[in-house]
Chain A
Amino acid sequence: MEGPKIIFEIPIFGGIPVTETIVNSWIVIVFIAFLCKFLTWKMQKVPKGKQVLAEKLVLMINGLVEQTMGKDKMRFAPYIGALFVYSATCSLSSLVGLRPPTADLNTTLGWALVTFAMVQYNSIRSHGILGYLKGFLSPTPVMLPMNIVSEAVNPISMSFRHFGNIAAGTVITSLLYGALAAASTVILGWIPNTFISTIPILQLGLPALLSIYFDLFSSCLQAFIFCMLTMVFVANAID
């Protein structure tokens, strides 16, 4: 099992490596942009077809943000929506054969660090710098190292959770593909023609069952969890 390939390098600062992750993210972004444009194309007062989908999605995210963070923090809804759609689409991109960008620690760590920064920024903004620093000394000053560790561990835990789930999916799927290829060579091995005997016939339908869990369910669930945790942390920081 290997990490993402480096597709090309931008020849500045001694060569910035652009990995498969980044390129796939761009593909996903373009896809989402087209999807958004398509879903909201020629909107009408009476919703029809694709517009229902767009409204459903927006209403769902609005409802989630309102329920989790409260009505006064609706300004986070677009960010949460973007994060959810991005994360889900990135994970689901494995369905079309791309290497999911979320199976790279850099992607999830980047998002988790954004959440971390949002938490710290909102905490300072709503409590003041002194109140923010005092928060680390509660309930007793002895807890200072524990508080710092628990605060710093959040992005690591979030990023590893998301990364681990998706990466485990890809690892297990590739292991399964390998195993199925081996099994099909055993089944078809008696045929003397080397071309026919190496057709991985078992790979045809079986992995689809596994990909229902690892790709569809796990992708949506992890996107949901990541957004939920972001909302909870940010809402806690503000209140």
Chain B
Amino acid sequence: MPGETMPFVSVDVWSLIMTWGNLIILYFIVKKLLFKPVNKMLQDRENEIQKTIDDANTSRDEAHKLEEEYKKHLENAKEEAGEIVKTAQQKAQVRSEEIIRNAQQQASMIMKKADEQIEKERISALEQTKGEISEIAVMIAEKVVKKDLTNDDHERMIEEIIDNLDK
């Protein structure tokens, strides 16, 4: 009856049954309202952190790859530069050799010309000398003819002339 009290220590079947009902209800309440959302949230957060870490790892890998690529590029560029310098040097060598050769040719040509000129001049000088000699000879002959020369004088004179010539 309402208002009565149960004994302090007693077992009542209806209370037991209601306790079980309460426990089951509470179990579902706690499971649905506390554990499910919190576990889901924890899982979500874990997933997000995992994703962030994965992203960071992939971007780091990509950065590594890029760095590698750039290094390779740099290496290539260095090689190319070396190549370019080498070809430039070769070209310059070839060119300088050519220039030197040209210069030598020109020099030799000038020398040849100069030689020729010298030769020509020498020949012309010789011609001139010959002409002068013949004039002198004519002059001598005139002198001889005028003076009446002896044979000895004749010879001496010729000697003399020739000696003069050599000088």
Query: Which 5 A-B residue pairs are closest in the complex by CB-CB distance?
Result: A110-B19, A106-B15, A36-B33, A3-B6, A82-B30
In the complex, which residues of chain A have a beta carbon less than 8 angstroms from the beta carbon of B126? none
Cα distance, A77 to B30, chains bound together (Å): 10
| CB <8 Å contact, A2 and B34 | no
Cα distance, A149 to B33, chains bound together (Å): 39
- Chain A, range 1-52, C-beta contacts under 8 Å to B: 1-9, 16-19, 21-22, 25-26, 29, 32-33, 36-37, 39-40, 43, 45, 51
Chain A binder among B20-28, B127-135, B155-163: B20-28
Chain A binder among B40-48, B76-84, B90-98, B104-112: B40-48
With CB as the reference atom, state the residue of chain B lying closest to A77: B35
B39 in the interface, Cβ–Cβ < 8 Å? yes
A136 in the interface, Cβ–Cβ < 8 Å? no
| CB <8 Å contact, B34 and A113 | no
In the complex, which residues of chain A have a beta carbon less than 8 angstroms from the beta carbon of B10? 3, 105-106
- Size category of the binding interface on chain A: 35 or more
A233 in the interface, Cβ–Cβ < 8 Å? no
- Chain B, range 8-65, C-beta contacts under 8 Å to A: 8-12, 14-16, 18-20, 22-23, 25-27, 29-31, 33-35, 37-39, 41-42, 44-45, 48
Contact with B along A74-109 (1 / 0, CB 8 A): 000111011101100000000000000000111101
In the complex, which residues of chain A have a beta carbon less than 8 angstroms from the beta carbon of B38? 40, 43, 54-55, 58
Contact of A25 among B1, B19, B37 (CB under 8 A): B19
Contacts from A to B (Cβ < 8 Å): 1-9, 16-19, 21-22, 25-26, 29, 32-33, 36-37, 39-40, 43, 45, 51, 54-55, 57-59, 62, 77-79, 81-83, 85-86, 104-107, 109-111, 113-114, 167
* A29, A81, A85, A105 pick with most chain B CB within 10 angstroms: A105
In the complex, which residues of chain B have a beta carbon less than 8 angstroms from the beta carbon of A85? 26, 30, 34
Contact of A58 among B4, B18, B42 (CB under 8 A): B42
| CB <8 Å contact, A55 and B7 | no
With CB as the reference atom, state the residue of chain A lying closest to B42: A55
Q: List 22 A-B contacts (CB under 8 A).
A: A3-B10, A6-B3, A6-B4, A17-B6, A19-B12, A22-B22, A25-B22, A26-B22, A29-B25, A32-B26, A32-B29, A33-B29, A33-B33, A36-B30, A55-B38, A78-B27, A78-B30, A81-B30, A83-B23, A106-B12, A110-B23, A111-B19
